Amino acid sequence: MTRLIIPLIIVLVVGGPAWGASLNGACIGTALTYGFAGKPGGTVIETTDKYRFENGSVFHRFKGREEYRYGPVSQVKSANQWSSSHLRFISRNPQSGYVIHGDAIGWKVTNPDCSLTHK
């Protein structure tokens, strides 16, 4: 669990301002770890999250909810990282990465399988 929380903290603290770049493709979640603000630890569950990147936007859908536009996505100064509102996507390679979402209520880290290209 500590392996997930420490990278999350580093990403949220070190992330810089955005500059334009396009990310295209889709990522399908294979596992999701979530927790609540102020509470130690996290819980791992299966996920149906799907993130689609197209034309400078990220789209999100999951079981029980139709796809919706989450927001514009832009690359941050750190290589292989993109941001959209409370969401941060970190690409290890075109086939995998992490999707991190954090707000005042809590946080979640999705481990997806991806098929991505960079313009």
The per-residue pLDDT for 51 is 95
Expressed in percent and rounded to 5, the helix, strand and coil fractions of the chain are: 10, 60, 30
CA distance 17 to 94: 23
The per-residue pLDDT for 17 is 37
Q: Look up the pTM and report it.
A: 0.76
The per-residue pLDDT for 119 is 65
Say what the alpha-carbon torsion angle 79, 34, 45, 53 is, to the nearest 10 degrees. -40
The string of pLDDT tens digits covering residues 11-35 is 443 343 333 357 889 999 999 999 9
CA distance 111 to 16: 22
The per-residue pLDDT for 9 is 40
Residue stretches of the chain with pLDDT short of 50: 2-20
One-letter identity of residue 99? V
The per-residue pLDDT for 18 is 36
